[in-house]
Amino acid sequence: MDVNTNSGSSARADKKQQEKARIIQREKQRQTVKTVSRLLQKAEGERTQEDRALLQEHRDTVQELSRRQSRRSLLKRKQEEVFDDAENLKAKVKQLAEALQQAKHVVIYTGAGISTAASIPDYRGPNGVWTQLQKGRSVSASDLSRAEPTLTHMCIWMLHKVKMVQHVVSQNCDGLHLRSGLPRHALSELHGNMFIEVCDSCCPAREFIRLFDVTERTALHRHGTGRLCPQCRAQLRDTIVHFSERGTLEQPLNWKGAAEAAQQADLILCLGSSLKVLKKYSCLWCMNRPANKRPKLYIVNLQWTPKDNLATLKIHGKCDAVMGLLMEELGLGVPLYNRSQDPIFSLAKPLSPQEQKSHTREEITPPSDLEDASRDTQAQGEATAVQGGWFGRGYSKARRKKKT
C-alpha cells in the first residue's frame, strides 16, 4: 500500500516538475523572440558585437521573425487601394469595351464595392466593416433601405437591356439590383435579399417582397421574421445566407441560373468584389476546363484579389468611374434611377392589418409620399438607432467573437 502511495506521489511530482520546465522553456523562448526582435529593429551600423553574436546564436528565431515580417508586409500590400492614372484607366476601359462588344455571353459578378456610392460600407476596404473590426473600432449600424441604386447598378441594367450582359451574380443583400429594374431571371442573389421573406413550408416556396428590411429579428442560424404565411400559417423566414451557412433556397439565390450562366460565359466581369468568398464557388469559374477554354476574366477593384493572376485585365478604379467611362466608350447613355419606376413598388406584397406593427424598419416610400416621410423623420430626430438585421447584427457578432 505504502509503495503504491509513494509511487503515485512521485509520478505527480514528476509531472509537476515537467510542466514547470515547459513553462520556463516557453517563457525563455518568448524572451529570446522579444530580444531578437528588438535587435532586428536596430540599424545594421548600430548593432554591437554582442548584438551580432546573439543574432548569430539564434539564427532560427531571426529567420522565423523575418518570415513573419514578410507575411505582414504582403498582407498590408494586398489591403492597399491602388488607383490607375486617368490615361491608363481610359486605355483599360477601352480594352474592356472592345472585349464586351466581341463577347457572346457576358456574366457580371458584383460585390459590396458597387454599393459604396449608395453610402453602404464594403467589407475589406480601408473603411470596410471587417477592416474596422480588426482594428478594434466600432461600426454603427444604419438603415440600408434608404439606399438607392448607384450609377453602376443602372449601367448594368442598361447593358442587360441592350443584350450585352446576359446574367448578374451578386453577393450583395441590399436588393439594389432588383430595384434598378434588372429582371429576376437574369439575377442570382447568392447571399439573399433583405427585402424578401419566404415560406419554405409551402411547395413551391412562397415569396413575399416587402418595402422594408425583413431581417430585423433574424441572425445567424435564426431566420424567422415573426410573420406568418397567409396560405399555410407557417412562420416566414428571411433569405440571408450568413457566413458559415449554406444557402438552400431556390429564390432569390438562383444558384441554378448562376451556374448555367457561368458555363455559357465567354467573358466574366467582376465589379467591386474582393473575390475572397466567390473564389470558393468552383461552379462559377469553370476551373475544370483547360485554361484556354475558360471565360476571359476582367476585374474592377481597388485592392488585390485572389483571381488577379488569372485575369485578362485588372482595372484599379472605383466602379462608378469605370462604368461611366465604359458606357461612354460603348456609346450608351447612363440611365438615372427613377424612384417612381422602382419595380419594388409593384412587386411588394402589403402586410395584413394584424402585421402592420410587426416591424420598426423604415419603409421605402414612393415619390408622392417622400416629402411627408422626410418631415416625419426630421420631427423624430436621430435618437433611434437601428439595431439587428443582417448588417447591424453581423457587426456586433463579429466584434464579440474578436473580443473573446
Q: Whole-angstrom Cα distance, residue 212 to residue 201?
A: 23
Is 229 annotated as a binding-site member? Answer: yes
CA pair distance 239, 191, nearest whole angstrom: 8
Flag whether 202 is marked binding.
yes
Strands 235-238, 196-199: parallel, antiparallel or unpaired by DSSP? antiparallel
Contact 133, 399 (CB under 8 A): yes
The 3-class SS string of 16-72 reads: HHHHHHHHHHHHHHHHHHHHHHHHHCCCHHHCCHHHHHHHHHCHHHHHHHHHHHHHH
286 is annotated as contributing to ligand binding: no
What distance in Å separates the CA atoms of residue 159 and residue 99, rounded to the nearest whole number? 14
Whether 170 and 190 have beta carbons less than 8 Å apart is answered as yes
Contact 320, 151 (CB under 8 A): yes
| Cell numbers linked to 304 | 488585390
Range 274-305 burial, b when 16+ CB lie within 10 A, else e: bbeebbebeebbbeeeeeeebbbbbbbbbbbb
**Of 127, 125, 158, nearest in space to 140 by CA:** 127
Residue 232 assigned as binding residue: yes
Q: Which of 224, 205, 144, 143 lies closest to 179 in space, CA to CA? A: 144
Active site residues: 191
Amino acid at 1: M
Residues flagged as binding site for Zn(2+): 199, 202, 229, 232
Residues flagged as binding site: 199, 202, 229, 232
